[in-house]
Chains A and B, each alone.
Chain A
Amino acid sequence: MLKLHDVTKEFRVGAFGGRRVAAVKGVTFEVVPGEVVSLIGESGSGKSTIGRMILGLNPVTSGSITFDGLPVKPGKEYYRRVQGIFQDPFSSFNPVFKADRVFAMIKETYHASVPAPQWAERVEAALRDVRLNPGQVLGKYPHQLSGGQLQRLLIARALLLDIKLLVADEITSMLDASTRIDVLNLLAELKARGLSVLYITHDLSLGNYLAERTVVLRKGGVVEMGPTGSVFGDPLHPYTRELLSAVPRLHEPWDDAVPVETCLYHRKGGSGGLYEATPGHFVACARLETC
């Protein structure tokens, strides 16, 4: 359904855009219908940039992104099927619109023929799905809502569109543990009904809870990807291991020792490509820069 092929993105920075920064480097992966893929990586690794390119908000520098075989084409038709929710909910909402207005706009643009009472019911149902009390949030301006309330409002808005693919960029990062689990369970139910989700997160335990497949990104490139169980259960790349060790756990101290491991695959893997260690489980050379 969604295919990224050798996607690269460069930004121009500095005076007169004289310097180029590669934010995404040769990324290839796919999301099939009804699948949750989690995209994991540290801050600045290019996760959001990939999300924005999928949504057509940033053009790719090279490579291709296709949805159902067609190149990404931003516009009403595309956004009927693909929606994104981003990290910072405060910047996603127009501060002068109340929550009601946000939903009314969705109706005008995408569901003009739905009768008003029925639409109101749908809005309420979507709000309850994300555990928001309609009376508590409708009629308020964005700055009158807490971060978590706003983020759930965005999820509800996306749900009203009958989309096929949701690009969810750190949508649960501002939610408390209980609401977060509710939202994740909700995504899992939607997935069972056929929705695909690209779940961008830095929270490994959440990605692990939900996703069939995991893509680990570092400095714009994929270092490891495969079935979630094997990537987390048997991480091959030292970076994946480092991430796993940094996860704060309740009853264990933060373990510090991150041994610098020797590269296991640089000989077998060849020149910079991904090496298929077990079926579907790919890993990059850990010492690419040096060996």
Chain B
Amino acid sequence: MSLQVSELKVYYRTLKGDVRALDGMTFGLRDGEILGLVGESGCGKSTLGKSLIRMDGRMRHVGGTVVLDGRELPIGDDRAMNEVRFREVSLIPQYAMSALNPTRKLRRMITELLRSRGATPDLEELERRMSQVGLPREVLDRYPIELSGGMKQRMVMVISTLLDPSLLIADEVTSALDVSTQKAVARALLGFRESGYVKSMIFVTHDLALTHHIADTIMVMYAGKLAEKAPADVIVKAPRHPYTKLLLDSLPEVGVRYADRRLEGIAGSPPSLLNPPTGCRFRDRCPIAGEQCAEEPPVAELAPDHHVACWKA
């Protein structure tokens, strides 16, 4: 096991009370595994990513543990995490593309960044990896604003993996890209694993079709909790959780037109995480909810590697 997350609880402190964005997540990641993480907006995907690398001031580690390569990560301790960040775990944040410092040319920016991490910049290696994702070395002499979205995204990927972290968390890195760039970026990520730049990866996205192409395992989250986790093929072909099934039904495929066939989203919206309802959190939107669902369903392993939190799965 490369990563083992157990009963992880991370809340955001607000004036109105705690927002329970991660409320008891348990899952593991094997060496070399790519885990696709999907779920409705606001269900806690980015919070999970941030928890494994850097909590912001309002986040609070309420309970649970994170073990990476046999060592427990001090995720609640910002300073202790310093030596882990970048070297052991690295994150490509959502909207990373707009996070590049606009006032520096990339070469200088990268050098400064690495120095601040106490690492010596190896420009040769940097250029080699850039060419691997199709970026010419001249890019280093440009300002971030002069790159297109796809170029920036690949640049950020190269930078975040330069120190060969064991775990890479990629948060919506392909969402803003066109399909052909998306494919190139997804393939580049696979290439990074092959070249050993990263061992395992959590690939956060809302695009189930894309995840299916690159992830080994898919984990579906709902309202701060795990709903279903299984090998990618199983999630797509034989999902057991009602939420996963509805999510798959709402996917538009090329060829479907509003005028001919109206697709439906999942009625209702996810519950507030400020005072989440008791019992199954999907209950008020679930088409097959029953009395038992007033109790919280435990996560059960229905088949090897197939975990589901639903009474009726």
Interface set of A (CB-CB < 8 Å, partner B) = 13, 40-45, 87-88, 90-91, 131-133, 135-136, 139-140, 144-149, 152, 170, 173-182, 184-185, 188, 202-206, 208-210, 228-229, 232, 242-244, 246-251, 253-254
Contact = CB atoms under 8 A, between A and B. Distances in A.
A174 B39 contact: no
Contacts of A177: 206-208, 247, 250-252, 265
Nearest to B40: A176
Given A146-B42, A188-B258, A242-B180, 7 more contacts: A43-B149, A43-B151, A90-B98, A178-B246, A178-B265, A246-B183, A251-B236
B61 interface: no
Given A131-B269, A250-B212, A181 B264 contact: yes
Interface in B27-78: 38-42, 46, 58
A209 B254 CA distance: 8
Contact of B40 (A144, A179, A203, A208): A179
A147 B172 contact: yes
Contacts of A170: 176
Given A133-B269, A246-B180, A148 B254 contact: no
B151 A44 contact: yes
B14 interface: yes
Interface in B201-220: 206-210, 212-213
Contact of B254 (A139, A181, A232): A232
B256 interface: yes
B290 interface: no
B182 A210 contact: no
A147 B46 contact: yes
A91 B183 contact: no
Contacts of B46: 146-147
Contacts of A148: 40-42, 206
24 contacts: A41-B178, A43-B150, A44-B149, A132-B269, A148-B42, A152-B41, A176-B247, A177-B251, A178-B250, A180-B265, A184-B263, A202-B177, A202-B179, A205-B255, A208-B256, A209-B258, A210-B258, A228-B257, A243-B179, A246-B179, A248-B207, A248-B210, A249-B209, A250-B251
Interface string B253-292: 1111110001111100100101000000000000000000
Nearest to B153: A43
A205 B252 contact: yes
A87 B94 CA distance: 12
B176 to A, nearest CB: 5
Contacts of A43: 148-151, 176-178, 181
Contact of A209 (B38, B172, B263, B274): B263
B179 A173 contact: no
Contact of B272 (A13, A136, A204, A229): A136
A178 B179 contact: no
A229 B266 CA distance: 27
Nearest to B236: A250
A286 to B, nearest CB: 16
Interface string B280-311: 00000000000000000000000000000000
Interface in B221-250: 236, 246-248, 250
B247 A178 contact: yes
The 9 closest A-B CB pairs, nearest first, are A148-B41, A44-B148, A202-B178, A43-B150, A176-B206, A182-B265, A178-B265, A43-B149, A246-B179
A176 B177 CA distance: 15
B146 interface: yes
A149 B177 contact: no
Contacts of B176: 43, 87-88, 170, 173-174, 202
Interface string B81-107: 000000000000011011000000000
A202 B180 CA distance: 9
- Most B CB contacts (10 A, CB to CB) among A139, A229, A247 go to A247
B175 interface: yes
A118 B207 CA distance: 38
A223 to B, nearest CB: 13
Contacts of A206: 252
B197 interface: no
A147 B257 contact: no
A175 B41 contact: yes
Contacts of A254: 183, 213
B183 A88 contact: no
Contacts of A205: 252-256
B256 A13 contact: no
B12 interface: yes
Contact of A203 (B14, B94, B179): B179
Contacts of B38: 176
A176 B244 CA distance: 12
- Most A CB contacts (10 A, CB to CB) among B180, B181, B272 go to B180
B313 to A, nearest CB: 19
A244 to B, nearest CB: 7
Contacts of A248: 179, 182-183, 207, 209-210, 212-213
Contacts of A173: 175-176
